[in-house]
Amino acid sequence: MEIVVLRLGHRPERDKRVTTHVGLVGRALGARGMLLAADDRGVERSIKEVTKLWGGNFFVKTGVKWGDEIKRWKQEGGKVCHLTMYGENILDVIDEMREEAKSGKAGIMVVVGAEKVPYEVFGAADWNIAVGNQPHSEIAALALLLDYLQEGKELKAVFEHAEIEIVPKRRGKKVIMTRKE
Ligand SMILES: C[S@@+](CC[C@H](N)C(=O)[O-])C[C@H]1O[C@@H](n2cnc3c(N)ncnc32)[C@H](O)[C@@H]1O
């Protein structure tokens, strides 16, 4: 299942932390990468540092034009899911999304906003999905969408080429350093 996150409306002076968390949640919960429609190499750097240490192949691409990315994604047969509190309830559309994703024919682009999202995005999306119709957070909305879509399987993913790995324990902390000097 190929999933890519598109982050819109990032304001470098106030959204650094939230956008970094959007990327970290995407990475940890099964997305292949994040497209950032803004120039903020700091966000890109932070997420890449995490990936180098903790493994996997998550990509971050900054400075993209969101309209071009959505258009290209759709031309290549992908589907677009825009997370918005104004959309249809996730429980009413998740089966349709899962079927589409499992068919393997279409990758899914998940669009999350920061400030007001341009109306064109609502029109371009195959699904406008609300994780409940109350305002909350793009980080929470993304996490829940990824989890519902993949039915929890992403939580057992193995991250390749990690330099550090956690050994789950009921109490205490155990980590293995596998860094090759
Ligand atoms: C803090 S909200 C701001 C939304 C903005 N005021 C607007 O009217 O579009 C930022 C992002 O969080 C996500 N979000 C917030 N609440 C949501 C919900 N209930 N369901 C899905 N996504 C949500 C959306 O992607 C939204 O663009």
Among 153, 168, 161, 5, smallest CA distance to 73 is for 5
- Flag residues of the chain having pLDDT under 70: 179-181
Report the alpha-carbon angle 130-132-137, nearest 5: 75
Global pTM reads 0.96
85: CA distance to ligand 1 center in Å? 6
Q: How far apart are CA 154 and CA 146, in angstroms?
A: 8
* Mean per-residue pLDDT over the chain, rounded: 95
Name the residue with tokens 């940890």: 28
**Probe residue for ligand 1, chosen from 8, 19, 84 as the CB with the greatest number of ligand atoms within 8 Å:** 84
For the segment 71-94, what is each residue's pLDDT rounded down to a tens digit? 999 999 999 999 999 999 999 999
Ligand 1 atom 5 nearest Cα: 116
Ligand 1 atom 1 nearest Cα: 137
Q: Which domains does the chain have, with CATH numbers?
A: 3-156 (3.40.1280.10)
Tell me what pLDDT residue 181 has: 56
Tell me what pLDDT residue 157 has: 96
Tell me if 60 sits within 8 A of 34, measured CB to CB: yes
Among 12, 11, 52, 59, smallest CA distance to 35 is for 59
The distance in angstroms from the start CA to the end CA of the chain is 34
32: CA distance to ligand 1 center in Å? 22
